[in-house]
Amino acid sequence: MTATTDGSTGAVGPRAAAASEPTDTTTAAAGDLLVAARRATARSVEHLLGQQDAQGWWKGDLETNVTMDAEDLLLRQFLGVQDPRTTEAAGLFIRGQQRADGTWATFYGGPPELSATIEAYVALRLAGDSPDDPHMKRAATWVREQGGIAAARVFTRIWLALFGWWKWDDLPQLPPELIFFPKWFPLNIYDFGCWARQTIVPLTIVSAKRPVRPAPFPLDELHTDAGAPNPVKPLASVASWDGMFQRLDKLLHAYHKVAPRRVRRTAMNAAARWIIERQENDGAWGGIQPPAVYSVIALHLLGYDLDHPIMRAGLESLDRFAVWREDGARMIEACQSPVWDTCLATIALADAGLSPDHPALVKAADWMIAEEISRPGDWAVRRPELAPGGWAFEFHNDNYPDIDDTAEVILALRRVRHPAPARLDAAVERGTRWTLGMQSRNGAWAAFDADNTSPFPNRMPFCDFGEVIDPPSADVTAHVVEMLAYEGMAQHPDTRRGIEWLLAEQEASGAWFGRWGVNYVYGTGSVVPALTAAGLPVTHPAIRRAVRWLESVQNDDGGWGEDLRSYREEKWIGHGASTASQTAWALLALLAAGGRESAAVERGVAWLAETQREDGSWDEPYFTGTGFPWDFSINYHLYRQVFPLTALGRYVNGEPLASGAISRKGS
């Protein structure tokens, strides 16, 4: 990999144009394209402005998969708080997501997924669908063909164990005594990523209590053999990680039978205190649905009545994850993204040419400044001396500010001419200081924690639901480097370490892996603008390799797309149906690399202009966001709007720093 930040001498040079001026024969066509791009930009600006909330924020729907909806119904059944209207609406949504073969997928156009299909099937049984209905028979047949419930993920089997449809003895054990592990000890709770940590702590209580509610119906039709639903599987080799953790799990099961009552009770009470201390002002936990669900269950098992203020606030917060659709269906969001959506919308509108003091931008800046987090959170476990600052992803998540959001919020705020500049500057300076302090030892940045890279959590039999640690990623590191560069810190030693890490992480193809967006198109679309903002010349070998890769994967229609299967199968890398957001990511990289006049950019801009809807938006059923690569995918409904507008704006108006769209500190 490239070891220096310059193509030859090691010094960072100025931006340079990599593309030549258009010839006379292309001038007319380029002029027509510019007119079309300006028209598309204006329509998109109008559409996006119309979506802003009166308080200044934007929030698009965050669509995931039907397990959110199924587990919401299972929770209501477990707590005895189900109601006909909610059940009917959830059933309508889940039924509408079923495919012709009877299965459910976890992303649009994806393959059928066993656990999602099982949970959706059970939810429809709760909604009143008969196992003899044709759509239910198709689902059950497919589940049995895939190995039945025994082949499902651990979390699915936990939900079934709550009703006696699965044995607790046949689940991995997760003891609440985990809460006692010191922070230096392997597999302490802070070795897990924040999303996993918030889920695992309440589940240790559930695992210890092993509750069983009366099952409203049997599920024999989902077993390959109802008489032996969990066939014995041989253990992996004792010399392997899997084999070691499987045997450790057997020891934990044995300990569960003899655990001293006083020790266990003390552990569960300590876990409960940990949970309660992290409940947010809106009643949720971490701003995401799964920890809220399991926290409510855990506290209820410890005797908290549903009318207790903590429980009441938690249940009310879960209702706020519901999106009621015009057809009467009810979709559950796994999370809500107002801070992320608002900073991206602000960047898009500013780069599209909206005046920096436009009321919409000032109102957005006011809202973002008010959302700054001013108290320590779990991140302080590894950074105890670091002063708080930064922003989270959600409305309320003060315990877990997000490095990615913080970088983008700062980039957004710098695009606004605020009537109280000192207030804005102070928030930016605190956020910048906090971000620098969250750099990992290798020079890069993760999303929530520093140095959250233990190799052990992902090995646990319990953790089969996706990524459970938070290592640094190219996309987050790129956004931080870009922000630091625009803050006049391109030569800061920490910025240089981040750049060196990014250069070392470039794939042989020229692309970068995308952790929080799909996938190499997102990673590359994030890194190239960061490197050029930090001063790498567009002639740098790493930039040219990235450009060649993007040009090589452009679709025949002029757009870009990458299927989520690229996380699993090499043949999908850089390939998939064209989408508005992924086309925009590719364009942002190519524009930053000096390719405004290139054929690839012109074809991409033309695709965006041609596929725009009359109302100024774009259609995008494909999932281009990532929670856990492959295991949990997201369709951010605002991505189809903010990223195309940003790309069109930069095509029309130039790069934000060069065009004066962003104020650079120290310049």
pLDDT in tens, 390-425: 999 999 999 999 999 999 999 999 999 999 999 999
Q: What order do you get walking across the sheet with 625-628 strand by strand?
A: 62-63, 632-636, 625-628
Location of structure tokens 């931008």: 361
pLDDT at residue 658, as a whole number: 65
Task: Give residue-wise pLDDT tens across range 181-200.
Answer: 999 999 999 999 999 999 99
Residue 242: its pLDDT value, please? 77
pLDDT score of 667? 42
The model's pLDDT over 481-491, given as tens digits with 9 standing for 90+, comes to: 999 999 999 99
**Structure confidence at residue 56 (pLDDT):** 98
Residue 4 has pLDDT above 80, yes or no: no
pLDDT in tens, 113-125: 999 999 999 999 9
Q: Which residues contact 14 (CB under 8 A, 6 or more apart)?
A: 535, 537
Known catalytic residue at 404: yes
Which band of pLDDT confidence, cut at 50, 70 and 90, is reported for residue 3?
very low
DSSP string, 16-45: ---SPPPPHHHHHHHHHHHHHHHHHHHHHH
For residues 601-623, give the mean pLDDT: 97
Q: Is the pLDDT of residue 144 over 50?
A: yes
Nearest to 390 by CA among 342, 361, 433, 349: 433
Q: What does pTM read for this prediction?
A: 0.93
Which pLDDT value is given to residue 50?
97
Choice among 249, 366, 404, 470 that is catalytic = 404
For 55-111, write each residue's pLDDT tens digit.
999 999 999 999 999 999 999 999 999 999 999 999 999 999 999 999 999 999 999
Among candidate residues 601, 498, 502, 485, the one with its CA nearest the CA of residue 547: 601
Q: Per mean pLDDT, which range of 19-28, 267-276, 565-574, 596-605 is the poorest?
A: 19-28
In the chain, the percentage of residues whose pLDDT exceeds 70 is: 94
Give the CA distances from residue 473 to residues 84, 447, 637, in Å, rounded to whole numbers and listed in that order: 44, 8, 23
- Which helix (H) or strand (E) is 539 found in, with range? none
Q: In this structure, what DSSP letter does residue 224 have? A: S
The type of residue at 75 is: L
Q: Band of the pLDDT at 24, cuts 50, 70, 90? A: low
207 vs 664, higher pLDDT: 207
